[in-house]
Amino acid sequence: MTTTPTLPLNDGSRLPAVGLGTYPMTDDEAATAVAGALRMGYRLVDTAAKYGNEVGVGRGIAASGVPRAEVLVTSKVRGADQGYEETLRACEQTRRDLGLEYLDLYLIHWPLPRVDKYVDTWRALVQLRADGLVRSIGVSNFTAAQLDRLVAETGVTPSVNQVELHPGLPQAELLAAHAERGILTQAWSPLGRRRLLDHPAIVEAAGNHGVSPGQVVLSWHHQRGVLPIPKSADPARQRENLDIFRFALHEPEMERITAIAGPRYGGDPDEHEEF
């Protein structure tokens, strides 16, 4: 079993420095992948109502044999459930589907600025935390301006912002904004859909350290203070993704990887609509 370091949140909690993503697994795929990953040493599992696999994730947690107190579970409010009362009901359904009494981290999946309900949704998350149904609260795919609006209107700063982040989209400005506000950055699609792993800067660093290109990219995240959430249902790749803490990239390697130019694969937070 691999021991994973942890990263602090602004609410006093801590999260493992790498997690297991589950999109777009089915319930059956998620049940198998989550159970195996937890037995392997993963302790942070990421899902969302929108993924349609919360039941499977819950089955995997139950089948793993790992005590509930050792597993940190993240889920997200989908766009169709935004709003204060709607979010309270959505969290209840998510906990029921997962078979859990509480969530360790609950996020707003997308801001949906046209709908303009994310502040009320955030107030619901604050209430869920006060009620003990959620341990930590945060957001996903928010811009710095949207984060500031949450704080201005509620006085509560998110603990986490989970965003698309990979060597092709290093998000330097947003990382700096998070650091100023005490928000932990999580990365979805941290390997850039594996489309950048043959880039010379990554391949060269992998050769220098005797590791895989994927491990290089995940280490690059970790050394930037980012918590990556790679998705894999393959046990060998899960093990590889967890084994990134025994080497460190040199600063020139970090700089070359950060300079890789690539596309944004997901939506623009100012325009994307997810329901």
Catalytic residue numbers, as ranges: 51
| Residues pairing with 14 in the sheet | 8
The Cα–Cα gap between 231 and 60 comes to 15
Residue type for position 252: P
Asked if 53 contacts 25 with a C-beta cutoff of 8 angstroms, the reply is yes
The Cα–Cα gap between 174 and 81 comes to 26
What tokens appear for 243 in the block? Answer: 């084994």
Residue type for position 153: E
Asked if 76 contacts 274 with a C-beta cutoff of 8 angstroms, the reply is no
Handedness of CA 48, 97, 17, 2 (dihedral sign): negative
What tokens appear for 77 in the block? Answer: 């409010």
